[in-house]
Amino acid sequence: MVQSKDSEPNTARIPVGVVGAGTMGAGVAQCFAAAGHPVVVVDPDPAARASGPQRLRAGIRAARLLRRRDPGAAEERVSWAADPAALSDALFVVDCAPERLPVKEAIFRALDRACPADAVFASCTSAIPIGHLGSFTGRPANVIGTHFMNPAPLKDTVEVATSTSTGADTVRRTLDLLAGLDKKAIVVGDGPGFVSNRVLMLTVNEAAAVVEAGTADADTVDRVFKDCFGHATGPLRTADLIGLDTVVDTLVVLREFTGDDRFRPTPLLSKLVAEGSVGRKAGRGFHPYPSHRSSIDPSRPAGADSHV
């Protein structure tokens, strides 16, 4: 279901929280701050908090160069904190943490303790069912999926996932907020990977298997999708943009929740991640990106700096 434009959304400015100061967290924070919302970004990792403002400034520069929504004083509206207690006033919180179930559980339990009773908890999870995340809180009706695409400030559409427990008021508030960000929402039901990643991750995994088998190299695989199917980019270059570490994490979650061995990461994917060749952000993945300096901190867990 695509969000209806029949009624004027409520676009009042409210305190917003973002959990995770990596690529997706900084991008989501920029989206809300550019729309006038005060934003607190929480990340326990000092290195992530130290580099977060740089990611935010880079995103703001890109938005201006591409003549997207004028970010205005977005940077001044964003603050950074280590503890979820800093979100005690937040009425809408977006989880952008790595795609690891124990990490997500700890976050949602902490948010449940820290945030107002009527706060909405939205998750940028790539694949974990929203009903499962809601079970970590005492307010499953307030939990919803907001699957922003990367880079969040430059993507116009958000996949919104609702569980059977998600309340109608939570959906309305979420759609209103997204409309205020100039985002279109496509509402889907709950399930591992929702629509986008249930399909995309299997495609990426099979494309990697084709390369591993020697049927075609990465360039050729991507050319088939571009030239034969008319896709803007191929699955392997898309995976490089997402981050191969995040792709592997998402595949692991999909296999855990579906029991389907087709989601087992191919040996080639696992090898590239182990080598640090995790895609565009590292300057190398399935394809080389010589103009991109590595932004990977070896002390941070894989998947901490990106999101699909």
Q: Using the predicted structure, report yes or no on whether residue 252 has a pLDDT greater than 70.
A: yes
Residue 4 · residue 289 · CB < 8 Å: no
pLDDT (mean) for 157-166? 98
- 231 within 8 A of 292, measured Cβ to Cβ: no
Lookup: tokens for 22: 């990596």
Work out the pLDDT band at 306, boundaries 50, 70, 90.
Answer: very low
| pLDDT over 70 (residue 268) | yes
At residue 158, what are phi and psi to the nearest 5 degrees? Answer: -120, 130
Q: Is the pLDDT of residue 238 over 50?
A: yes
pLDDT of residue 292: 63
pLDDT at 298: 37
Question: Is residue 13's pLDDT more than 90?
Answer: yes
Residue with token string 């990792």: 45
- Rounded to an integer, what distance in angstroms lies between the CA atom of residue 29 and that of residue 123? 13
Please state the rounded mean pLDDT for residues 52-58. Answer: 94
Provide the pLDDT for residue 200.
97
Q: In sequence order, which residues have a C-beta less than 8 Å from that of residue 12 and are 6 or more positions away?
A: none
pLDDT of residue 291: 76
Is this prediction's pTM over 0.85? yes
Give the residues across from 42 on adjacent strands: 19, 81
Residue 196's CB is within 10 A of a number of other CB atoms, namely 17
Q: What is the mean pLDDT of residues 58-86?
A: 89
Confidence of residue 50 (pLDDT cuts 50, 70, 90): very high
Mean residue pLDDT of the chain comes to: 91
Tokens, residue 24: 């997706």
Q: Is the pLDDT higher at 138 or at 295?
A: 138
pLDDT, average across residues 250-254: 97
Q: In the predicted model, is pLDDT for residue 102 greater than 70?
A: yes
Q: What is the pLDDT of residue 300?
A: 43
What the block records as the tokens of 188 is 């889907």
Residue 304's pLDDT band, with cuts at 50, 70 and 90, is very low
Which tops the pLDDT comparison, 22 or 3? 22
At 3 the pLDDT is 52
According to DSSP, residue 95 is labeled: E
Residue in this structure with the two tokens 């904190």, named with its chain if needed: 81
What whole-number percentage of the chain has pLDDT above 70? 90
The predicted pLDDT at position 1 comes to 57
Per the model's pLDDT, the better-predicted residue between 72 and 54 turns out to be 54
Strand 78-81 and strand 39-42: the pairing is parallel
Confidence of residue 65 (pLDDT cuts 50, 70, 90): confident
Q: Report residue 303's pLDDT band, with 50, 70 and 90 as the boundaries.
A: very low
